[in-house]
């Protein structure tokens, strides 16, 4: 038997972080030997072994700590892309924002009023998702369970990509598995950007806000805990209009702008004079990693894979073959609509962006992610949320059958399906 290589020991001084990128297709283990440490707000338990797979993280400590890193099938150095310590972090700023939000939650609990509705904004790769995680985890430590809302269909922290979604966050975010997502509220945009169909995106934002408002009205704790909304990194032109629409629709009162002077000043002037909305500018952490287009695409594919196979590859989805006629697939809008950038200046698509039409060619669906809608009738498809997803593995036009991958065997939970444009290869 091969002897295990020696672990790597790291000692962190207080208020510093260890920034670590694990290579694609590699993994390593992390242990907090002593002291206090957290990953994006999730406290590490002393002596517990955490497995990190192709992640880019920072282990931050408020008080100082000793860590141990160990390779799994190789020396730990071989699994590490980048590792370094930094004392230059915006964690104090972030903790101050948490204190502000927590004061609002406490007041809301006392008076039965609404807790903070926070939206995190900034360009791509400024650390928006990370800040949401930190603030959610800090709220959970104070026994609050805010609702997390992800309005970025590009990545998908709550559901696979091409969706917007919401979920209450009742426990700390798992270092290995991410957000604990049970019974999320999900709408399927069909596209990884709202660009081809912004009307549909606005419609979903409105449906979601209306449902979450109802939930908040009926429960004091939920209302007081408030919302944490993650946004897209598209902040110009139409992206900016969609941000304003979301801010108004969710009645956001804490606007956190990371590292973007222009956006901060634009929003500052819009809300100037409005005492109930605070616009706060925050520093981008130097640790946030830029992800090129190919990496974004591969992490989207990975999210879809994880939906079916689990983050630890321990789920067993089923392949099901059915006649064409058994799948009732629809599409919203004009199908594969051209993005606005492909239209002439000032050009408008003449098709009805909210029209629901049946998909007639099963061949188009090959390798596509398809949403299973909660709709009971086709005319409910536009506004109904999503029960789950299937992936089309093969289409056989001769036998007129389709084979799809589903999270579990048996009938689909609902009869109507929604197609978009997201394709990937899973097997
Ligand atoms: P997007 O525009 O895609 O939504 P974003 O603005 O939400 O991106 P994040 O996803 O929060 O950015 O961060 C980008 C990457 O940087 C992530 O992989 C995240 O884990 C990593 N990251 C964030 N903060 C740090 C840090 N302090 N040290 C190391 N890695 C970090």
Ligand 1 geometric centre to CA of 313 (Å): 23
Residue nearest to atom 13 of ligand 1 (CA): 127
Q: Which atom of ligand 1 is nearest to the CA of 122?
A: 6
Ligand 1 neighbour 57 (Cβ under 6 A): yes
Q: Are 396 and 402 in contact (CB under 8 A)?
A: yes
Q: What is the DSSP letter of 290?
A: P
Ligand 1 geometric centre to CA of 291 (Å): 9
The percentage of residues in the chain with a pLDDT greater than 90, rounded to a whole number, is 84
State the pLDDT at residue 336: 47
State the pLDDT at residue 312: 83
pLDDT in tens, 277-288: 999 999 999 999
Tell me, yes or no, if the pTM score tops 0.95.
no
User: Closest by alpha carbon to 204, among 157, 129, 155, 151?
Assistant: 151
State the pLDDT at residue 349: 56
Ligand 1 neighbour 58 (Cβ under 6 A): yes
Q: Are 404 and 390 in contact (CB under 8 A)?
A: yes
Tokens of 85: 């310590």
pLDDT in tens, 290-316: 988 888 898 899 999 999 999 888 899
The tokens 């959610």 sit on which residue? Answer: 136
Ligand 1 geometric centre to CA of 418 (Å): 31
State the pLDDT at residue 40: 98
Q: Are 149 and 227 in contact (CB under 8 A)?
A: yes
> Is the reported ipTM for this assembly greater than 0.90?
yes
Tokens of 116: 């903070």
Q: Is 424 annotated as a binding residue?
A: no
Domains and CATH numbers, the chain: 8-86 (2.60.120.1030), 91-282 (3.40.50.300), 316-423 (2.40.30.330)
Phi and psi torsions of 223, nearest 5°: -60, -45
User: Collapsing DSSP states into helix, strand and coil, what is residue 1?
Assistant: coil
State the pLDDT at residue 2: 54
Q: Are 115 and 146 in contact (CB under 8 A)?
A: yes
Residue nearest to atom 24 of ligand 1 (CA): 288
pLDDT in tens, 154-188: 988 899 999 999 999 999 999 998 887 878 999 99
Residue nearest to atom 27 of ligand 1 (CA): 287
Ligand 1 neighbour 126 (Cβ under 6 A): yes
State the pLDDT at residue 94: 98
pLDDT in tens, 314-358: 899 999 999 999 999 999 986 445 556 666 666 555 578 999 999
d(CA 168, CA 219): 13
pLDDT < 50 stretches in the chain = 1, 335-336
Q: Edge-to-edge strands of the sheet including 38-39? A: 42-43, 38-39, 56-61, 16-22, 80-86
Q: Are 30 and 54 in contact (CB under 8 A)?
A: no
Sign of CA dihedral 241, 242, 244, 248: positive
């Amino acid at each position: 038997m091969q002897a295990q290589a020696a672990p790597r020991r790291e000692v962190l001084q207080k208020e510093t972080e260890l920034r670590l990128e694990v290579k694609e297709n590699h993994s390593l283990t992390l242990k907090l030997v002593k002291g206090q440490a957290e990953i994006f707000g999730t406290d590490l338990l002393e002596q517990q072994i955490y497995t990190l797979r192709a992640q880019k993280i920072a282990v931050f400590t408020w008080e100082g700590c000793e860590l141990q890193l160990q390779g799994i099938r190789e020396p730990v150095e071989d699994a590490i892309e980048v590792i370094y310590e930094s004392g230059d972090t915006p964690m104090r700023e972030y903790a101050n924002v948490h204190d502000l939000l927590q004061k609002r939650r406490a007041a809301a609990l006392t008076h039965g009023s609404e807790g903070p509705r926070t939206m995190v904004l900034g360009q791509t790769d400024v650390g928006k998702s990370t800040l949401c995680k930190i603030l959610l985890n800090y709220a959970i430590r104070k026994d609050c369970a805010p609702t997390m809302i992800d309005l970025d269909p590009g990545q998908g922290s709550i559901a696979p990509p091409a969706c917007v979604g919401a979920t209450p966050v009742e426990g700390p975010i798992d270092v290995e598995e991410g957000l604990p997502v049970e019974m999320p509220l999900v709408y399927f945009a069909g596209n990884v950007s709202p660009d081809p169909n912004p009307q549909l995106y606005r419609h979903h934002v409105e449906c979601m806000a209306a449902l979450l408002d109802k939930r908040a009205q009926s429960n004091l704790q939920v209302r007081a805990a408030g919302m944490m909304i993650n946004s897209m990194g598209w902040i110009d032109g139409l992206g900016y209009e969609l941000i304003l629409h979301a801010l108004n629709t969710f009645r956001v009162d804490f606007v956190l702008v990371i590292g973007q002077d222009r956006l901060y000043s634009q929003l500052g002037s819009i809300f100037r004079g409005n005492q109930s909305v605070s616009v706060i500018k925050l520093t981008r952490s130097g640790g946030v990693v830029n992800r090129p287009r190919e990496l974004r695409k591969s992490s989207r594919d990975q999210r879809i894979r994880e939906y079916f196979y689990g983050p630890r590859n321990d789920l067993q989805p089923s392949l099901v073959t059915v006649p064409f006629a058994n799948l009732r697939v629809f599409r919203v809008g004009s199908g594969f609509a051209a993005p606005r950038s492909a239209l002439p200046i000032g050009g408008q698509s003449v098709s009805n962006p909210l029209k629901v039409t049946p998909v007639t060619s099963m061949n188009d669906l090959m390798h596509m992610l398809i949403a299973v809608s909660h709709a009971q009738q086709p005319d409910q498809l536009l506004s109904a949320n999503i029960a789950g997803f299937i992936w089309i593995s093969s289409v056989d036009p001769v036998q007129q059958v389709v084979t799809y991958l589903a999270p579990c065997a048996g009938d689909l939970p609902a009869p109507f399906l929604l197609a978009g444009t997201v394709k990937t290869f899973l097997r």
